[in-house]
Amino acid sequence: MPEWLRRLNWLQETGSALIAILPMVAAVSLSAFLATWLGERRRVRREHLAAIKAEVFRPLGRELEEFYLPLLRGKIGPVTIEHVATQTGGTALTDLGRVHLRGAKPAEAGELSRFLYVDAKCQHYGRLFRRLELFKSEVDAYTRLWVSYAEQLSQTITEQVGLPVMTEADPLSDTEWIDSDGLAVFVVNCQLGIARRPLCVGLDGRSIEINGVPMVRAAAEDRVQRSLKALEVLSGRQETPDELRPRTEPLLHLAKYLLRELDRLRVSSKLPGGCRLVRP
């Protein structure tokens, strides 16, 4: 057999062997690639889920436990006082003499990641977050009812006591004044049975204090006694609390449901939806 023919046969046999091996090499390479890719994907999803649990579910659960449940159970007052910020030379300054009533709100959760909150809401747990945000809006509507009632109480207190409100007088001077908004919050809490300390008459007999903070300053003791009597009568009224209390029942059930869902998700090992976002 000629030399060139033997070489041709050898090339054909070698090519056939390589062609037979190539699918095996490709399969092994693909398997190794897929194993690496799947392992990395699982790691990224585990870390992403752990971050959502720590920076979204945990602070939201704490918010429900420490604010919303106590509020709806009548342990926290629905109305509070907020100091008004005034703009001076481009800088917002808090004016301690100007306040207004507002609905109680939870403290800012410093450990809550807004980025992961949006990710969890849009990519993974849309139904839960829609319910959570609906719940919060319903609670805000509930506290606004109490704010409207407290504003009416503040006006009634001002009219019955007959003293200028604190924003119209210097609270550090000896002139007469009354913190009608602060007393309205106190009356609301009394009606709900959550006022922790009673009103106290100052040592001079011409002022009324709550927790050591002056709320009324009068020129004569009879004004102070009249104020105490008016506040006592208002604190005993239950018409509005009896009307608003039933509104808390469905909200309380929803709060408990949301807390159970968050607790369940905090021990879950599955992350629904995609995992495409990268932290900024």
Question: Residue 139 pLDDT > 90, yes or no?
Answer: yes
Largest CA distance in the chain: 135
Range of the domain at 101: 3-266
Within a domain: 84: yes
Structure-block tokens of residue 273: 């939806």
- CA 266 from chain centre, in angstroms, equals 18
Predicted confidence at residue 175, as pLDDT, reads: 80
Within a domain: 190: yes
Within a domain: 277: no
Contact 226, 115 (CB under 8 A): no
Question: Residue 184 pLDDT > 90, yes or no?
Answer: yes
- 93-102, 118-127, 214-223, 255-264 — which is least confidently predicted? 93-102
Question: Residue 170 pLDDT > 60, yes or no?
Answer: no
Structure-block tokens of residue 232: 């006592």
List, as one string, the DSSP characters of 187-210: HHHHHTT---S--EE-TTSSEEEE
Query: Among 277, 191, 173, which residue's Cα sits nearest to residue 234?
Result: 191
Predicted confidence at residue 38, as pLDDT, reads: 59
Predicted confidence at residue 121, as pLDDT, reads: 92
pLDDT band at 94 (very low <50, low <70, confident <90, very high): very low
| 146-169: pLDDT as tens digits | 999 999 999 999 999 888 887 655
Q: How far apart (Å, rounded) are the C-alpha atoms in residues 272 and 274?
A: 7
Greater confidence (211 vs 247) lies with 247
pLDDT band at 210 (very low <50, low <70, confident <90, very high): confident
What is the mean predicted confidence (pLDDT) over 197-217? Answer: 85
pLDDT band at 270 (very low <50, low <70, confident <90, very high): confident
Cβ neighbours for 265, distance < 8 A, ≥ 6 positions apart: 53, 57, 125, 128
SS3 81: strand
pTM tops 0.85, yes or no: no
Residue 145 CB burial class (10 angstroms; 0-12, 13-18, ≥19): middle
Within a domain: 99: yes
What is the mean predicted confidence (pLDDT) over 253-275? Answer: 89
Within a domain: 21: yes
Predicted confidence at residue 249, as pLDDT, reads: 94
Query: Among 185, 181, 178, which residue's Cα sits nearest to residue 207?
Result: 178
Within a domain: 75: yes
Predicted confidence at residue 75, as pLDDT, reads: 92
Contact 157, 177 (CB under 8 A): no
| Domains identified in the chain, total number | 1
Within a domain: 273: no
Greater confidence (118 vs 15) lies with 118
Predicted confidence at residue 188, as pLDDT, reads: 94
Within a domain: 276: no
Cβ neighbours for 62, distance < 8 A, ≥ 6 positions apart: 109
Greater confidence (20 vs 232) lies with 232
DSSP element (H, E) containing 145: helix 126-161
Compute and round to an integer the Cα radius of gyration of the chain.
34
Half-sphere exposure of 186 (CA within 13 A, CB side): 25
| 46-80: pLDDT as tens digits | 888 889 999 999 999 999 999 999 999 999 999 99
DSSP element (H, E) containing 88: strand 79-88
pLDDT band at 205 (very low <50, low <70, confident <90, very high): confident
Q: Round to the nearest angstrom and report the end-to-end CA distance of the chain.
A: 72
Residue 228 CB burial class (10 angstroms; 0-12, 13-18, ≥19): middle
Question: Residue 11 pLDDT > 70, yes or no?
Answer: no
Question: Residue 81 pLDDT > 80, yes or no?
Answer: yes
Query: Among 259, 47, 245, 36, which residue's Cα sits nearest to residue 146?
Result: 245
Q: Chain-wide mean pLDDT for the chain?
A: 82
CA distances from 123 to 119, 147, 222 (A): 6, 36, 65
